[in-house]
Amino acid sequence: MFIKQATHKDVNEISELISRLSLKYIAPNCSDQGIELLIESMKPNSLTQYMNTNYLYHIIKDDNVLVGVIAIRDNSHLFHMFVADTYQGKGIAKKLWLYAKGVCFKNGNVGKFTVNSALNAKSVYLKLGFKPIAGIRENKGVKDIPMILHELTD
């Protein structure tokens, strides 16, 4: 397995993985408007726009098959983190997070990170050290839990 920075060549593969997982795990807690917004934000053209601005995507592959993706916005906000079903529970999310966090530190992050956790992913983020800063909220039909991580750096 290897982790690398994603490029525009990866957007179709990323879109397929995160759209499929979002429909399965996030959409059941969303309104119809929320599902539409969610899927639109994960289309290849949206991912390309993110990559062209202030989002940094990293992917992890196993035998050249995409098994996970993480995206960081503004060097501090964990925007996307998805792991293929068959690879969940095997430490892939932690590997992705540690890698992306290391890149953020190299790029000047001083130890503060945020995430808007999907309801089903809260336990994953708790294990990574994030703490909820509010309860469940809803915006445009999508529910999430805002979380923060403060980590000391050397």
Fold of 2-108: Aminopeptidase (3.40.630)
The predicted-structure confidence for 4-56, as pLDDT tens digits, reads as follows 999 999 999 999 999 999 999 999 999 999 999 999 999 999 999 999 999 99
Distance CA 42, CA 76 (A): 20
Q: What is the pTM of this model?
A: 0.93
Closest CA to 96 of 53, 64, 131, 125: 125
The residue extents of the domains of the chain are: 2-108
The predicted-structure confidence for 106-149, as pLDDT tens digits, reads as follows 999 999 999 999 999 999 999 999 999 999 999 999 999 999 99
